[in-house]
Structure 1
Amino acid sequence: MGIKLVAIDIDGTLINSKHEITVKTKEVIAEAKAQGIKIVIATGRPYPGVVKILKELNLEEQGDYVITYNGSLVQETDTQKAIASHGLSHDDFIEIEAMSRSLGVNLHTIDSEKIYTANQHISPYTIHEASLVNMPLYYRSVDQMTDDIEVVKMMMVADPEFLDTAIAKVPTWFTDKYSVSKSMPFYYEVLNKQANKGLALIELAEYLNIPIAETMAIGDNENDLEMIEAAGKGVAMANAVSKLKAVADLETFSNDEDGVAEAIKKYVLK
């Protein structure tokens, strides 16, 4: 029983500390695709933030898929048709925004095309996100965020130590209602309860009639936990956080040592 689908996180996993995909990793991914194995990018980034990578890896053809917004959206890459979609309502937005203010952290809201923030003093982490994912950033007061805006996910942002202190104060009812995870030391993501990379992987595998036992997932951070647990083989990068290593089946080299390429070569290629 071989691996038929490999889901790969981007930041800290696919790309190295120079934000590059190495030649070796590109070659191994190309070889896997040539053997008929589905290579699926699974990221917290929105679609605009992954287009360049999909093109670089030749994953824009018919039959290619991508998991974006930490599992809120599963799409065909050639048409961008949604296979599965789990967003947030306007009431959710109001509730999450109020929670961020009570915790004293900044917040930004993302739809399919734009990033919005109601913080007049815009966080440098919000600016970093807009630059990273190639999306325009707009200031909008809470009352300007009308219910026709289709929110996909929201992100609480702050300096890591302050954010960790704030997260510790988040009430249980909130984490029961929403899917929450840290994607970076300064990002705490809030999504629909049905949205995480693990559920997205299961949805895509079912859509493609691939047994979940014949999937592999590779990641490094807390927002990869459910994906690593769901996959038939869950692989943690050497640079992964301890929580992820604790649930992974296997460990590979770091993102600066072609860890993704090594994992695919060892466990996937025929």
Structure 2
Amino acid sequence: MSIKLVAVDIDGTLITDDRQITSEVFEAIQDAKAAGVKVVIATGRPIPGVQSLLSQLNLNQEGDYVITFNGGLVQDAATGQDIVKETLTYVDYLDIEFLSRKLDVHMHAITKEGIYTANRNIGKYTVHEATLVDMPIYYRTPEEMADKEIVKIMMIDEPEILDQAIANIPQEFYDKYTIVKSKPFYLEIMDKKVSKGNAIIHLADKLGITMDETMAIGDEENDRAMLEVVGTPVVMENGVPSVKALAKHITKSNNDSGVAHAIREWVLD
């Protein structure tokens, strides 16, 4: 059965290590669009960190959609209308903020408007994230967060510190939230209903596309959920071993236009 929807991760997948879109990837996506295939960016980034890529790839036009916050937000890419929005409560924030202090790791919360941290000494990975996704950083005490619509919380720290913290997160948090590691220094925490996989299921259903007609391309653990639900899971050559085990196909690396290779081999061929 032909592929009608392709979900594409950004970091380590769509873009090169120096954050560029190769001409081969650009052309393959344009050819897929011209063939009537829905190409959907599916990323852990918030929407401001995606807008320039959507513009570069002509994926912000009528009929285009985008999945951000690891599935916490699905939007019409042309109008910005929310299709799916799953947020965390203030009680969730307080519980996770307390846990981060207990584990002695940096943490920040992200809304559609910005990144909020209660750490006076702002962690370098919070600054890195803000730069990467083009969002402002705000210092706010936990008491000042009650009115914020939080889509995602991240624990961020040096990999060895973060790994030690992860080992000590109580099981009850895994039972209550979706928790995924997206980079060696990023642990992302969202509402239990949130995943890239659930977002793709919802979007495909809205568009009248069966899961057999879907493909996902990714490289990291936060791509696992979408790779598990699509008909054709594709993992980058540079992907982590745990998600490579889920792949129907292994494509070339992100630095070698792997997304273009996947589209041409298994969508347009």
Q: TM-score range by the shorter chain?
A: over 0.9
Query: Matches of 1:201 and 1:243 in 2, distance apart?
Result: 21
Query: Matches of 1:203 and 1:160 in 2, distance apart?
Result: 33
- 2:8 paired residue number: 8
Aligned pairs for 1:44-193 (under 5 A) are 44-146=44-146, 148-193=147-192
- 1:218 paired residue number: 217
- 1:255 paired residue number: 254
**Residue 254 of structure 2 aligns to a residue in which SS?**
coil
Query: Matches of 2:251 and 2:74 in 1, distance apart?
Result: 26
Query: Matches of 2:98 and 2:208 in 1, distance apart?
Result: 41
1:18 CA drift (Å): 1.2
1:105 CA drift (Å): 0.4
**Residue 238 of structure 1 aligns to a residue in which SS?**
coil
Query: Matches of 2:207 and 2:99 in 1, distance apart?
Result: 38
Query: Matches of 1:163 and 1:246 in 2, distance apart?
Result: 24
- Consecutive unaligned residues in structure 2, runs of 5 or more: none
Query: Matches of 2:215 and 2:180 in 1, distance apart?
Result: 21
Deviations along 1:198-250, whole A, 9 cap, x unmatched?
11111110111100110000000010000111111000100001111111221
1:161 CA drift (Å): 1.2
AA of the residue aligned to 2:78: D
- 2:41 paired residue number: 41
AA of the residue aligned to 1:221: E
Query: Matches of 2:98 and 2:233 in 1, distance apart?
Result: 36
Query: Matches of 2:165 and 2:95 in 1, distance apart?
Result: 16
Query: Matches of 1:118 and 1:18 in 2, distance apart?
Result: 31
1:183 CA drift (Å): 0.9
**Residue 59 of structure 1 aligns to a residue in which SS?**
coil
Query: Matches of 2:29 and 2:220 in 1, distance apart?
Result: 21
1:268 CA drift (Å): 0.2
Tell me the C-alpha RMSD between the 2 structures: 0.7
Query: Matches of 1:73 and 1:145 in 2, distance apart?
Result: 20
Query: Matches of 2:268 and 2:18 in 1, distance apart?
Result: 27
AA of the residue aligned to 2:149: E
Deviations along 1:47-94, whole A, 9 cap, x unmatched?
110000000000111100000000001100011111111110111111
AA of the residue aligned to 1:246: A
Deviations along 1:8-29, whole A, 9 cap, x unmatched?
0000000011110000100000
Deviates more, 1:59-68 or 1:242-251: 242-251
1:175 CA drift (Å): 0.5
**Residue 256 of structure 1 aligns to a residue in which SS?**
helix
Moved over 6 A (4+): none
Query: Matches of 1:163 and 1:249 in 2, distance apart?
Result: 31
AA of the residue aligned to 2:136: P
Query: Matches of 1:104 and 1:231 in 2, distance apart?
Result: 37
TM-score norm. by structure 1 comes to: 0.98
| Count of aligned positions | 269
- Consecutive unaligned residues in structure 1, runs of 5 or more: none
Query: Matches of 2:190 and 2:247 in 1, distance apart?
Result: 23
1:134 CA drift (Å): 0.6
AA of the residue aligned to 1:122: I
Query: Matches of 1:248 and 1:105 in 2, distance apart?
Result: 33
AA of the residue aligned to 2:205: E
TM-score norm. by structure 2 comes to: 0.99
1:99 CA drift (Å): 1.0
- 2:235 paired residue number: 236
Query: Matches of 2:74 and 2:142 in 1, distance apart?
Result: 28
Deviations along 1:98-117, whole A, 9 cap, x unmatched?
11111110000011111100
